[in-house]
C-alpha cells in the first residue's frame, strides 16, 4: 500500500510517500510560505502557494514524477490534538473533520492547519481514504491521578482542562523498537523515553502503555525546549498580566522566546553546545538547566513505572547530541546509570545501547520514525474498513 503522509502547518506542508509493505520512502518534501506575503506580517505579494490546496498541487506534481503510473492508496494525517474523543487512528469523514475542528481551542497553532490539509485532500481527491493519527492518542491510557490538575472540577468538565500529552506517535513507535532491542514483549516493557527535539517531552511507559508524560494541556508544559519554557510557577503569568502584559505577549514569551533561546540566545542545540565548549557561560547554564530538568523527570518516572528497564533517547537532539546525553547521564548516578563514553559518541542510525555493562539501567538511543508509524496506522485503518 502506498500512503501519503501529511503534516500540515499553518504556512507549511510536509509530505512523505511510503510503501508500507517495504517500509521504504519513495519521495518526500516540504512546501513552505503558504499564503505568506513578502511585505511582512503576511502582507504584500504572495511568495509561496496561495493556500493549502495550491500547495497540494505542487505535492501532486512532485509525487507524479516519482510514482509515474502508480497511484496512492490512502493519506495519513498527523493531527496534534485528539482531545478525549480520539484514542486511536480514525478514518476521516465530514463529521470527523468537524470534530477535529472543534478541538481547535485546545491546539490553536496546530489543529486548524491539520484541518486545512484534510480539506485540501478531500477537495482534490474526494474518494481517497484519509486517516487521522493523533499525537495525543497514545497518552489516553494515563491514569486519572496523572492527568488531573489540582483545580476545580468545573475547569475540566466545562473546558476540558486536563493533561493530554503529545509526541504520542513517536513515544509509541520508540517503545516498540526499544522493547525489541531488549528482546522483550512490548507489554513487558517498562521504561522512560525522552523525545528531545526543538519540542521535547519525556514519557513513563509501564507495560508498553503511557502512564505519565511531561507535556500537559498544551505542548508548553514540562522540559526546557528550543523556544518553550516548560514548567514554571503559574503566578509568573498573573504577575506579568498585572504588569500590563497581554495574553498574546505572554504566549509569545513562553512559546517562542524562552527555553534554550531565552537562556542562551539560540534554540539550536548544536550551536548552544558549541558555544558552551568555547567558554560561553550563558550556553553552559542553559545546558545545565535543561539537563537538570530532564534528569528530575527521569528520576520521577523511574518511580512511576515501578523501576525502569531502560532509559531511551530519541528525536533530533536525543539521537544526535552525545554531549547532552552525557550531561543528563552524569546526573543519574543515583539510579545506577552509567553511560559508556565510547558507545555514546559513536554515530549510528540503528537502535543501540550506549550504557556500560555495569549500568543498572540500560541506556538506549532509538531513532524515531513518526512518518512510518503514521503510514502503518493508516494502512491498518483502511484495511480494516475495506
From residue 275, alpha-carbon distances to 125, 320, 378 in Å are: 49, 17, 42
Q: Could you tell me the three cell numbers for 339? A: 553511560
* Alpha-carbon gap, residue 153 to 193, rounded angstroms: 30
For the chain, helix (H) and strand (E) counts, in that order, are 15, 12
Residue 46 is classified by DSSP as B
Residue 132 pairs in a beta bridge with 77, 90
From 60, 69, 135, 268, active-site residue: 135
Q: Decide the pairing of beta strands 2-8 and 74-79.
A: parallel
Q: Which residues is 143 bridged to in the sheet?
A: none
Its sign, for the CA torsion 47, 51, 57, 58, is positive
Beta bridge partners of 210: 205
Q: How far apart are CA 190 and CA 273, in angstroms?
A: 31
- Annotation marks residue 135 as catalytic: yes
H helices of the chain, where?
A: 52-67, 94-102, 111-124, 144-147, 153-159, 168-181, 235-242, 247-256, 259-264, 269-277, 281-304, 315-320, 322-330, 341-345, 370-385
Burial class (CB in 10 A: 0-12, 13-18, 19+), 342: exposed
Residues 280, 284, 288, CA angle at the centre, nearest 5°? 170
Residues that are catalytic: 135
Amino acid at each position: 500500500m502506498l500512503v501519503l503522509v501529511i503534516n500540515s502547518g499553518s504556512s507549511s506542508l510536509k509530505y512523505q510517500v511510503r510503501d508500507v509493505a517495504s517500509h521504504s520512502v519513495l519521495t518526500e518534501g516540504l512546501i513552505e510560505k503558504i499564503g505568506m506575503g513578502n511585505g511582512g506580517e503576511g502582507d504584500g505579494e504572495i511568495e509561496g502557494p496561495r493556500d493549502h490546496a495550491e500547495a497540494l498541487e505542487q505535492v501532486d506534481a512532485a509525487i507524479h514524477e516519482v510514482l509515474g503510473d502508480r497511484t496512492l492508496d490512502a493519506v495519513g494525517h498527523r493531527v496534534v490534538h485528539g482531545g478525549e474523543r480520539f484514542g486511536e487512528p480514525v478514518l476521516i469523514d465530514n463529521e470527523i473533520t468537524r470534530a477535529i475542528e472543534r478541538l481547535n481551542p485546545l491546539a490553536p497553532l496546530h489543529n486548524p492547519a491539520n484541518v486545512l490539509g484534510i480539506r485540501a485532500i478531500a477537495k482534490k481527491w474526494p474518494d481517497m481514504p484519509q486517516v487521522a493519527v493523533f499525537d495525543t492518542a497514545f497518552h489516553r491510557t494515563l491514569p486519572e491521578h496523572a492527568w488531573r490538575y489540582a483545580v476545580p472540577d468545573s475547569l475540566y468538565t466545562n473546558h476540558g482542562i486536563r493533561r493530554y500529552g503529545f509526541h504520542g506517535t513517536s513515544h509509541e513507535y520508540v517503545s516498540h523498537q526499544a522493547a525489541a532491542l531488549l528482546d522483550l514483549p512490548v507489554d513487558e516493557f517498562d521504561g522512560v523515553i525522552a523525545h528531545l527535539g526543538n519540542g521535547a517531552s519525556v514519557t513513563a511507559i509501564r507495560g508498553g502503555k503511557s502512564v505519565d508524560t511531561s507535556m500537559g494541556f498544551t505542548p508548553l508544559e514540562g522540559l526546557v525546549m528550543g523556544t518553550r519554557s516548560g514548567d514554571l510557577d503559574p503566578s509568573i503569568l498573573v504577575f506579568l498580566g498585572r504588569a500590563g502584559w497581554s495574553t498574546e505577549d505572554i504566549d509569545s514569551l513562553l512559546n517562542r522566546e524562552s527555553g534554550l533561546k531565552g537562556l542562551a540566545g539560540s534554540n539550536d542545540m548544536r550551536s548552544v553546545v558549541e558555544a558552551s565548549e568555547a567558554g560561553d557561560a550563558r550556553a553552559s547554564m542553559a545546558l545545565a538547566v535543561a539537563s537538570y530538568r530532564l534528569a528530575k523527570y527521569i528520576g520521577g518516572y523511574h518511580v512511576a513505572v515501578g523501576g525502569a528497564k531502560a532509559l531511551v533517547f530519541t528525536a533530533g537532539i536525543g539521537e544526535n547530541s552525545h554531549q547532552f546525553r552525557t550531561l543528563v547521564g552524569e546526573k543519574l548516578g543515583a539510579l545506577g546509570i552509567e553511560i559508556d563514553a565510547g558507545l555514546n559518541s559513536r554515530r549510528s542510525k540503528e537502535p543501540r545501547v550506549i550504557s556500560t555493562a555495569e549500568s543498572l539501567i540500560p541506556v538506549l538511543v532509538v531513532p524515531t520514525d513518526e512518518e512510518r508509524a503514521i503510514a502503518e496506522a493508516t494502512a491498518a485503518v483502511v484495511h480494516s474498513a475495506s
